[in-house]
Structure 1
C-alpha cells in the first residue's frame, strides 16, 4: 500500500512540474505586459530580468503552503486516503484547465483555479463522508468556505478598483507629460521617478518579501515599525538619483519599467508559488505522516491532523521550482500568446482585432459615446482645445514596434504594484492577475486607445477575459468535483484512466497550439515590408508577398475543390466537413492578408500606390470569391450526404468527374504562372478558362434535359446544378485573379 501512495506522490510532483510550466505561461502576462508592450528593452533583456526576479522570488519564498494544507478542508476530519484523493484530483484538473486557458491566450488567476479546485474536491468527499456517517459530520466541520468567498469577492473588488484607478492615474499622467513627453521630462521626471521607484520598493517590501525566510524576527519588525521613514528616505534618495540619471541622458522611464518588471516577477514567484507546488508538498507531508507508522495503520483510518500545523518548504524544492519556472518563462510560446492578448487589447494603434463584437459591447460603446457627447457639450471650448493638445497622438513617442509608450508602461507597473501592496497591507484579497490586467485596460482607455474603430472590439475582449475568470472558478469546481468522485469510487483503474486522459489532453493541446502558431507565423517578407523605408524595395517585397499569398490560395482551392467533389461522389461526410472547416480558417486568413496588404500599400511610393493598391485589392477580392464559391458548393453537398439522400448517378459522376480534373489542372497551371512570375502562357490560360466554362454550361443543359425527361432525383439535380454553377465561378474568378496578378507584377 505504501508503494501505491508513493507512486501517487511522485506523480503529484510530476504534475507540479507541468503545473509550474503552464502556470508561469499564464501569469507571465502580469509582469511582462508593460515591458514588452513599450519595448523598454530588448526582448532578451526583459526576459532575463523577469527570470532573475522569478528565481529570486522562488528562493526567497516563505515556503508556507497553508492553502493546500488546511485552507479549504479541515484535515483533522479526513483520512489519508481521502486527502490523497482530493490532492490528486486538484492537480489533474489544474494542469489541464490552465493549459486550456493558455492555448486560448486568456489570462486567468492561478489562485482562483487552485482554491475552487480544492473546494470542488473537498465538497465531493464531504458529501460522501456525510452520507457514510449518517449526518454525524456536517459541511461546517469538513470545509472552510471563507477562502472561496474571499476569492469571489476579489474578482469584483480587483476589477473595479484596478480599472478605475488605472484610468484616473493614466489620465493625470498623460495630462502632465502628454504623448510628446521628452520636452517635459526636465520639469517632472525626477519627482515622477522618485514616486515610481519608491512605490515599487514599497511593493517589494510589503507584498514581495514580507514573508520570506530572511524577512523575519527583528528585521521584519524594524521594517514594519519604520515603514514611513523608509518610504520618505527612499523617495528623497530616488528623486535625486532619477534627476542625476536624466542629466546623464539615461531614459528614466525605461529604468522604472524594468525595475517594476523585476518587482512584479519577484512577488509573483514569492507569493503564488503555493498555487503550483503547495498541493504536491501537502501530499508529500501527508505521505511522510502515513509512513511514520511503519505500515501498521490503514490509510482509511489515519486522520490527517498533522496537516493542521505549518510546514516549511525545504530549500531544494524552492530552487527546483524556481528553475522550472525560469525555463518555462524563457521557452514557452503560450506565455507569449497570453501576453499578446493583453497587448492587443491595450495597444495605442488600430489593427487586426483579436476579438469580435458583442451586443453588450455595442450597447456600452453607444451609451458611453452618448454620455461623453452630453458631458463635452457643457465643457468650455478653450478647455476642450487644451485637453486635445495634451492628448495629441500625432506627437506620440514610441519605440519601434511598441504597442504603447513608456509613460503608460510606467503607470501600469507602479499602480499595479501599489494596489497589490495596499490590498495586502489592508488584508484585502486583490488578485495579481486581475489587478495588472485591469490596470492595463484602464490606462489604455484613458489614453484614448479605444477609438471609435476599435472600442467595441476591445470591450468585447475585456468582457471575454473577465467572463473567463468566472468560468475558471465554475469549471475548476465542477471538474475537480467530478474527478475526485471518480477517483474515490473508481480506485486504481480510475486513476490510471484519468492520468491517461490528462496526458492525452495536454499532448493534443500542445500539437493543436503548435499547428495554430505555425499558421499565424508572420513571413520574413512581411516583416521586411513593414520595416523598410525604401519605397522601391517595398514594391519588390509587396509583389513577392502577393505572389506567395495568391499561390497559397490557388493551392488551397485546387486541393479543397478536389476533396469536395470526390467527397460528394464517394459520400464521404467526414471529408466534406473537413473542407468546410478549412474554408472557414482560410476566410479568416484572407482577412489578415488584406490587413497586411493595406499596411503594405502605405509603404509604396505615392505615384504608384493607387494603381498597385487597386490591383492588390481586386486580387484579394477574387481570392476571397474563390473560397466563397467553394463553400457555396461544398455546403449543399455536405447537407445532401448528411441527410442520406440519393447520390449522383453514374452519368453525372462520369460527366462532372472529367470536368473536375480539367478544373484542377487549370488551377494548378495558374498557380505555377504566379509562382514563377512568368505569364507567357497567359493567353492560353484565358482561352482554357472560356473553354471550361462553355463545357460546364453544356453540362447544365444536359442535366436540364434529364430533369425535363423526369429521370433521376430532383434533390440530386439541384445539388448537381449548384456544383456546376459554383465550379464555373471558381474558374471565372481564377481567370480574373491571374489577370490582376499579371497587372500587379508588371512594371
Structure 2
C-alpha cells in the first residue's frame, strides 16, 4: 500500500513540473504585456529582466505555500488516504484546465483555478465522509471547510477586480493630465518626480513588502518594521536623484528604466504570489507523505493535523521551480500567444476587433456616453478645454501606422506596471493569493479607459471583450469546482486504477493539444492570403491590388469547386471546407475595408485618386465573397438537412458550370500573377458566354420543372445556385473592367501612338 502512495507522490511531482509549464504559459501575459505593448525595450531584454524577476520571486515565495495546506479546508478532519485523493484530483484538474485555456489563447486565473479546485475536491471528500457517517449531516460540512479563510480569499479575488480597475483608471487619468500624449518635453521637467514616485512604489512594495512571509524576513524584520516612512522617504529621494541623473547624464527617458524595473518587480510578485498555484499542492502532499510514512499508522487512520503547522519550504525545490519557470518563459510559444487578447483590448488606436458587441456592452457604452455628456454640462468650459487638450492624441504618422508600432505609450506602460506591482505585492505581504491575472488585466483595462483608448469607434467591442474575459474567469471557477469534485469521487471509487487511467488520459490530452497547437502555430501565412495596401502612390496600389486579385481568384476557385463537388457527392467534409474558406475570405476583405481610413491617410497628395480605385475594388471583392458565401451555405444546408439529392441533369449542368468558373478563375490568377495584363481583354470576352450558359441552364430547369416530377427543395437550390453564380460572374467581370480601365489609363501616350502606327 505504501508503494501506491509513493507512486502518487512521484506522479504529483511530474504534474507539478507540467503545471509550472502550462501555468507560466498562461500567466506570462501578466508581466510581459506592458513592456511588449510599449516597445520601450527590446524583446530579448524584456525576457532577461522577467527571467530574473521570476527566479528571485520563486525563491522568496515560501510563505504562500500555507494556502494549499490549510487555506481552504481543515486538514485535521481528513485522513492521509483522503488528503492524497484531494491533492491528486486538484493537480490533474488544474493542468488540464490551464492547458485548455492556453490552447484557446485566453488568459485565465491560476489562483482562481487552484482555490476552487481545492474547494471542490475537499467538499466532495467531505460529503463522501458525511455520507458514510451515521451521525453527521450536510450541516456538518462547515467542520471540514475553512469557510472563513476561503470566503476571505474568494472575496479578495473578486474585490481586486474593482480595486485594480478603479486605481488604474484614476492614476492613469492624473498621469495623462500632467504629461499629456506629447509627454517628451514635460518628462524632462517632471520625469524625475514621476520616476521617483514610481520607482519608490516598486522598490518598497515589491522588494520590501515581498520579503514578508519568506525565510529571509526574520533577519530584516528589526530594520524594516517601524521604519516604513523613513524607508519610503529615503527611497523617494534616492530614486528622484537617480532619475534626474539618468535623464541628464545618459540622455535617456526615465520611463524606459521604470518599465524595466516594473517588469522585474511584477515578474517577482507573480512568482512570489503564484508559485503556490503550481507546486503548493505537490509540496503539501510530499510533507503529508513524510509525516505518515514514519508514523506506522494505517493511511486511512492517520489524521493530517500535521498540515496545520507551519512547514518551511525547501530552498532547493524553490530553486528548481524557479529554473523551470524561467525555461518555460523562454521556450514556450504559448506564453507569447496569450498576450494578444489583452494587447488587443488595450491598444490606443482602432483596428480589427476580436470580440463581437453584445446587449450588455451596448447598454454600458450608451449609459457611459450619457453620463459623460451630463458631466460635460456641469464642469466649467475652461476645465473641459484643458482636459481635452491634455488628452489630444498626436496625428498619425507613417511610423505609427506600422503593424509593429507600439500599442500604447510609455506613460501608460509605466502606470500599468507600477499599480499592478503595488497591488499584487500588498496581497502577497498579507498572504492572500490574489489573482495576478485579475489585477494586471483590470489595471490595463482601467488605464485604457482613462486614456480614452475606448472611443466611440471601439468602446462597444472592447467592453464586450472585457466581459468575455471576466466571464471566462467565472467559468474557470465553476468548471474547476465541478471538475475537481468529479475527479475526487472517481479516484475514491476507482483507487489506484482510476489514478492511472486519469493520468494516462491527462497525458494524452496534453500531447494532443501540444501537437494541435504546434501545427497551428507553425502554419505560415498562406501564399494566397490577402495583404493590406500600404503603398503611398497609385502605381504601388495597382501592383498590390493585382496580388490580391490573383489571391482571391485562386481561393474563389477552390471555394466554388469544393461547394459544387461537395454538393454533387453529398460530401459534408468538402462543404465544411468550402464554408471555412469563404468565412476566412470574407473576414480578410472586411479587415481591408476597416483599413481604408489609414490607407487614405497614408496616400501622397498627388495620388489621392488611388483611393477611389481601392475602394471600388474592395466593393467588388466583397460582392464576390458574399456570392461565394451564399453558394457554400446553401449547398451545406441542403446536404446537412438530408434533402433529396440533385437529379443527374442538374448535377451534370452544375459540374459543367464549375468547369467554366475554374477556367475563368485560373485565367485571372495566371494573368495577375504573371502581370500579363493584356490577357484581361480576353477574359472579359468570356463574360457574355458564361452569362449565356447560366441563362440557358435556367431555361432548361424551368422546362424540367413543368414537365418532370422534381423536388421543390432541389429546384429552389438549383435556381439559387445559378443566380448566385451569375452574380459572382458579374462581380468578377466588373473587377476585371475596373482594373483594365485603370491599367490602360496608366499607359504613356507615346506608347499608344506607337501602337497606332
TM-score by length of 1: 0.92
> Contact conserved, 1:208 with 1:271, CA < 8 A, in 2?
no
- Residue 107 of structure 1 aligns to a residue whose secondary structure is coil
The Cα shift of 1:45 comes to 0.9
- Larger CA deviation: 495-504 vs 180-189: 495-504
Q: Counterparts of 1:11 and 1:668 in 2: how far apart (Å)?
A: 57
- In the superposition, relative to structure 1, how do residues 658 and 495 fare at CA in structure 2: closer, same or farther (>3 Å)? farther
> Contact conserved, 2:31 with 2:267, CA < 8 A, in 1?
yes
User: 2:414 aligns to what?
Assistant: 410
Q: Counterparts of 1:335 and 1:201 in 2: how far apart (Å)?
A: 26
* 1:145-187 residue CA offsets vs partner (Å, 9 max, x unmatched): 3343223312432122222222221121111122222222343
Q: Aligned-residue CA RMSD in angstroms?
A: 2.9
> Contact conserved, 1:350 with 1:454, CA < 8 A, in 2?
yes
User: 2:673 aligns to what?
Assistant: 675
- Larger CA deviation: 233-242 vs 597-606: 597-606
User: 2:286 aligns to what?
Assistant: 284
1:463 aligns with 2:464: no
> Contact conserved, 2:528 with 2:554, CA < 8 A, in 1?
no
Which of 251, 268, 277 is the equivalent residue of 2:253? 251
- In the superposition, relative to structure 1, how do residues 741 and 302 fare at CA in structure 2: closer, same or farther (>3 Å)? farther
> Contact conserved, 1:64 with 1:311, CA < 8 A, in 2?
no
- In the superposition, relative to structure 1, how do residues 524 and 54 fare at CA in structure 2: closer, same or farther (>3 Å)? farther
User: 2:238 aligns to what?
Assistant: 237
- Residue 225 of structure 1 aligns to a residue whose secondary structure is coil
The Cα shift of 1:706 comes to 0.7
The Cα shift of 1:425 comes to 5.7
- In the superposition, relative to structure 1, how do residues 324 and 546 fare at CA in structure 2: closer, same or farther (>3 Å)? farther
User: 1:71 aligns to what?
Assistant: 71
Q: Counterparts of 1:438 and 1:214 in 2: how far apart (Å)?
A: 32
User: 2:91 aligns to what?
Assistant: 91
1:643-682 equivalences in 2 (<5 Å): 643-682=641-680
1:271 aligns with 2:285: no
Give structure 2 stretches of 5+ with no counterpart.
Answer: 747-757
Q: Counterparts of 1:556 and 1:145 in 2: how far apart (Å)?
A: 59
User: 2:185 aligns to what?
Assistant: 183
Q: Counterparts of 1:343 and 1:366 in 2: how far apart (Å)?
A: 24
> Contact conserved, 2:110 with 2:435, CA < 8 A, in 1?
no
User: 1:592 aligns to what?
Assistant: 591
1:715 aligns with 2:716: no
> Contact conserved, 1:525 with 1:544, CA < 8 A, in 2?
no
- In the superposition, relative to structure 1, how do residues 522 and 599 fare at CA in structure 2: closer, same or farther (>3 Å)? farther
* 1:188-238 residue CA offsets vs partner (Å, 9 max, x unmatched): 2222211111111111234432233322x2312321232222111111121
Q: Counterparts of 2:527 and 2:184 in 1: how far apart (Å)?
A: 35
Q: Counterparts of 1:647 and 1:522 in 2: how far apart (Å)?
A: 34
- Residue 355 of structure 1 aligns to a residue whose secondary structure is coil
> Contact conserved, 2:272 with 2:428, CA < 8 A, in 1?
no
- In the superposition, relative to structure 1, how do residues 206 and 468 fare at CA in structure 2: closer, same or farther (>3 Å)? farther
1:218-367 equivalences in 2 (<5 Å): 218-248=219-249, 249-292=251-294, 298-367=298-367
* 1:267-298 residue CA offsets vs partner (Å, 9 max, x unmatched): 111221111111222223333344446xx765
Q: Counterparts of 1:523 and 1:578 in 2: how far apart (Å)?
A: 18
> Contact conserved, 1:175 with 1:390, CA < 8 A, in 2?
yes
1:522-533 equivalences in 2 (<5 Å): none
- In the superposition, relative to structure 1, how do residues 311 and 545 fare at CA in structure 2: closer, same or farther (>3 Å)? farther
User: 2:55 aligns to what?
Assistant: 55
Give structure 1 stretches of 5+ with no counterpart.
Answer: none
The Cα shift of 1:136 comes to 3.6
- Residue 588 of structure 2 aligns to a residue whose secondary structure is helix
- Larger CA deviation: 735-744 vs 667-676: 735-744
> Contact conserved, 1:245 with 1:252, CA < 8 A, in 2?
yes
User: 2:168 aligns to what?
Assistant: 166
1:94-243 equivalences in 2 (<5 Å): 94-136=94-136, 138-215=140-217, 217-243=218-244
Q: Counterparts of 1:618 and 1:328 in 2: how far apart (Å)?
A: 48
TM-score by length of 2: 0.90
> Contact conserved, 2:536 with 2:607, CA < 8 A, in 1?
no
* 1:41-82 residue CA offsets vs partner (Å, 9 max, x unmatched): 111111111111111211333265222222223333323332
Q: Counterparts of 1:539 and 1:46 in 2: how far apart (Å)?
A: 41
Q: How many residues align?
A: 738
- In the superposition, relative to structure 1, how do residues 479 and 695 fare at CA in structure 2: closer, same or farther (>3 Å)? same
Q: Counterparts of 1:412 and 1:390 in 2: how far apart (Å)?
A: 19
- Residue 618 of structure 1 aligns to a residue whose secondary structure is helix
